[in-house]
A and B are shown apart, each in its own frame.
Chain A
Amino acid sequence: MAKANIIEILNATDAELIEISKKGLLSLTLDEMKRIQKYFLSAGRNPTDLELEMIAQTWSEHCFHKTFKSRIQFTEIIDSNSPVMEEIPSLFSLIKQATEKVRKNWCISVFKDNAGIIQFDEDYCICFKVETHNHPSALEPYGGAGTGIGGVIRDVLGAGLGAKPILNTDVFCFAPLDTRHEELQEGIFHPRRLFKAVVSGVRDYGNRMGIPTANGAILFDPGYLYNILVYCGTVGIMPRWAVNKKVKPGDLVVVIGGRTGRDGIHGATFSSASLEKDIPTSVVQIGNPIVEKKVLDALMTARDEKLYSAITDCGAGGLSSAVGELAQHCGAVVHLDKVPLKYQDLKPWEIWVSESQERMVLSVPPEKFNRLKEILESENVEYACIGKFNSTGKIKIFHEKDIVGELDLKWLFQKSELPVLKALYEKRETVNIIPENINLEETLLQLLSDSNIASKEIVVRQYDHEVQGHTIIKPFGGIDGCSASDAVVLAPIYGNDRGIVVSCGINPWYGMLDPYLMAGNCIDEALRNIVACGGNPDRTAILDNFCWGKIDDPFELGKLTRCVKGCHDYAIQYKVPFISGKDSLNNYFTKVDGSVVSIPGTLLISAISVIDDVRKSITSDFKEASNLIYILGETSNELGGSRFFNVFNLEGGRCPAPHPEISLMIMRKLYRAIKNNLVMACHDCSEGGVAIAIAEMIIGSGYGAEIYLEQMPATTAEPVSLLFSESQGRFIVEVDESCVEKFEKLFKGLPCKQIGRVIPDFRLKVNDRDKTLLDVNGELLKQKWCGAISW
């Protein structure tokens, strides 16, 4: 058996240090290598390969989030104004500040555990985490996406003392499915292959785990040709007492679940680097959901019997990261030869940093180990006691009788001196041109079959969204189950009507115009989706997931900074706290000619709301002819970044800007209106604007609608804007005639207008004053919307 190698660094020159980092795929900078050199100089010895690996992994962008923790010198030039300079303590602190300022007492654990935790009721808490698995999914889409969902499920299993996963969410970004094969660089998969394999990966993992996958989005843009985005989220429920964990010195280090192999070695450091052409096989991870399902079942029993005092998952960085984090404030001794292996020829450092899937690490009081063993054996889960926590402040790693690593934990996790980063943002002035002589009907149908708007039913139906039996508002509803819901509503406890609403907001096209507004618009959209189904805006928490391009480019960092500033400002104005988040940076590709292609900076906002009574929640399809149709919120000429502009290949334009104050007032009233049964159906206006929102409400209902555009509260009278502008904060609402008085009274003083009626004919008729602008058969609408994306 190979022992640890000693790496000569004490006398290494700067150039040699860089070479060591590069050769070992450590992704450590010269400053970091020097810090390591200093540490080992005072220790009077050279490090082992395992020690270097552990340090590299702990300090990697993926685990340490250097960019989000660094000070930033931010220069902003808006239009032709003089530059404004600002120093930002760190991006992470901005997000955290927002949550502190919003201050909601139902936020139980934010930004410290594996997932954000909020209160559900007196007895239970809900936790939510969203992760990305972009690099692995680009290389091996099926395995990468599967292990993406598998990993985030383990995050929830490792939050507090463990939550039971009750919902998975997924959001994917691909290049258009009709991309020509000739456009692809060597080594890049066709978007259609990625699309199918990613969906299959999430499907097979989620379904086999018995967790419903019931919310998400799929986006298509050429900007994702070289780097796809795969966001996976999991919601879990846990008893209130299980929220806190604390490792006790003397506890055993117990690893359970999958065996350790060479899988995913260097995943953490690799994910901090860009995609290159030559990738080692070992970075690929393959999932085994059956193993994770058994781990889940065993853990839930063990948790309820209080058999362990802390738990965390083995994610990026493997055992090194998991044991390191748990031991951070105490210390531990680990025996690597005790770790169950897939094959025997692993080197100690490989065992330590391997990212083999389906493993969890527990801190188990010795007297409880026997009972834990019984449970694990009864569920057929492999386990091993690999060491002991102590109070030495050090981690000491053995392989058989040899010490293969010993590091001071305080030094390892100490906030290092991070360099000050420079960020630059420049906003271009753009003109808002509206094309003339447009065939409205053709445009509407074209938009309905735009892959970003069209029905994703073909994907959603592959997911089990019913398993566990809690799903109240499902991803699709309406008379023939083809009407898309704005959010999913779950009642996670049998016999209890209390529930949760989960939704998301994402729109990279706004970000191309202004990342600051994108942040606001994504928050607005996520909240709108929540409220449209009956969620409470004042009981909603959000999560941020930033996927960005080449981050050492000051302009990319500038866009990211501006986006984070938007998150901060708008979260405060909408009074929603961030409870968890994650960043995935350096999503770029270096072409053969050396040019760099970054993805469009993409922010995903996921939202979760707790509601008192799921029976009050509503869907978006029209319910009855002759009911009145209202619009809430004002429409402006904001076509920049819209799907309409995309159809006409127009760039620039005015990006929609959120109006948090009015939006929040509307959402609060709408929440009350839905709770008081005043609303029959509700749909938010997002991509494609009012025309698409109403068309979607028709498609799933069998009824039609007649709309009068001149009634819309608006700052423009231009029909194209009224129909397709994507102004924020708007809802289409169906109200029964008997409730009109109460409804209108509730919204007095706010932009709320009746714009038409539900009609018995299955068609969409739009009038502007005396002119009929659109009169389209419902079947045609349905055919375009439902049939656009094929498998």
Chain B
Amino acid sequence: MTIKSENIYIVEIGLKKGLFDAFGNEVKHSIEELGINGIDSVDVYDVYMVYGDVNFSLVRRIAKELLLDPVAQTMKVYRADKNQKSSNISVEVWYKKGVTDPVAMTAIKGIRDLGIKNDIKINCGKKYEFHTSMIDRTLIELICTKVLANTLIQDYIIKGI
């Protein structure tokens, strides 16, 4: 990517605390089916990498007006080069370059509909945050390839280990 890293922003959208996370539960269930126990719970976030002709306040506006459901979700916007402090292990899953990303295409269309003319690019992904005391990179790798990502079309990044 030729874009300067300070011009890449990450929008993270997750469920509000206390709401039932069906997807997170399903992921946990699938991990247990692998024979891996010890994950207390999994939080799932939709993550959007927004880059191109953007700045922080514009990304915030896009996130708030387009990507967020304010009733059930909360959001976080940050610059990609700023490390996020987290005590948990997390995994991000992104499409490989060249793989069609319908959600991103729709999001870009949505940005146009907001009246924003800037040349903005978006990649969509998922972030899985594990609440666990188990810190074993090989097991997390296994979870990534067996449950979270299809390495034919997706890449995964493990953070927090």
Q: Which residues of A approach B to under 8 Å, CB–CB?
A: 139-140, 143, 181, 190, 192-193, 196, 261-263, 279, 281-282, 284-288, 290-291, 342-343, 356-357, 791
Contacts and interface: CB of A to CB of B under 8 A. Distances in A.
B80 to A, nearest CB: 22
A140 B102 contact: no
A181 B102 CA distance: 32
A261 B104 CA distance: 15
A9 B51 CA distance: 46
A286 B30 contact: no
B30 A196 contact: yes
B33 A140 contact: no
Interface string B72-104: 000000000000000000000000101111100
B102 A284 contact: no
A140 B153 contact: yes
B35 A181 contact: yes
Contacts of B100: 261, 263, 285-286, 288, 342, 356-357
Given A263-B100, A287-B102, A140 B152 contact: yes
B102 A193 contact: no
A193 B98 contact: no
Contacts of B152: 139-140, 279, 281, 284
Nearest to B33: A192
A262 B26 CA distance: 32
A284 B30 CA distance: 24
Nearest to A178: B33
A261 B96 CA distance: 14
Contacts of B147: 193
A284 B96 CA distance: 11
B120 to A, nearest CB: 16
A262 B101 contact: no
Contacts of A139: 150, 152
A225 B145 CA distance: 18
Contact of B98 (A140, A143, A261, A357): A261
B30 A193 contact: yes
A261 B97 CA distance: 12
Given A139-B152, A143-B153, A288 B98 contact: no
Q: B interface, by DSSP: helix, strand, loop or mixed?
A: loop
Interface in B12-52: 26, 30, 33-35
Contacts of B33: 192
Contact of B106 (A190, A262, A290): A290
Nearest to A287: B102
A281 B146 contact: no
Contacts of B102: 286-288, 290-291
A286 B99 contact: yes
A791 B28 CA distance: 12
B30 A281 contact: no
Contacts of B135: none
B98 A282 contact: yes
A669 to B, nearest CB: 48
B105 interface: yes
B51 to A, nearest CB: 16
A281 B35 contact: no
Given A140-B153, A190-B146, A196-B30, A281 B105 contact: no
Contacts of A282: 98
B36 to A, nearest CB: 11
Contacts of A196: 30
Contacts of A791: 26
Contacts of A262: 98
B121 to A, nearest CB: 11
Interface in B134-156: 146-147, 150, 152-153
B146 to A, nearest CB: 7
B146 A193 contact: yes
A109 B2 CA distance: 55
Q: Sort A-B residue pairs by CB-CB distance and give the 6 closest, nearest first.
A: A288-B102, A286-B100, A284-B153, A263-B100, A140-B150, A262-B98
B106 A281 contact: no
23 contacts: A139-B152, A140-B150, A143-B153, A181-B35, A190-B146, A192-B30, A193-B30, A193-B147, A261-B100, A262-B98, A263-B99, A263-B100, A279-B152, A281-B99, A285-B100, A286-B100, A286-B101, A286-B153, A287-B102, A288-B100, A291-B102, A342-B100, A791-B26
Contacts of B105: 288
Identify the interface centre among B30, B99, B100, B152: most chain A CB within 10 Å of its CB.
Answer: B100
Contacts of A342: 100
Contacts of B35: 181
Contact of B153 (A181, A281, A291): A281
Contacts of B34: 181
Contacts of A290: 102, 106
A282 B150 CA distance: 14
Contacts of A279: 152
B43 to A, nearest CB: 20
Given A284-B99, A357-B100, 9 more contacts: A139-B150, A140-B152, A181-B35, A192-B33, A281-B98, A281-B152, A286-B100, A286-B153, A290-B106
Nearest to B106: A290
Contacts of A261: 98, 100
A28 B152 CA distance: 26
A600 to B, nearest CB: 26
B139 to A, nearest CB: 13
Interface in B105-161: 105-106, 146-147, 150, 152-153
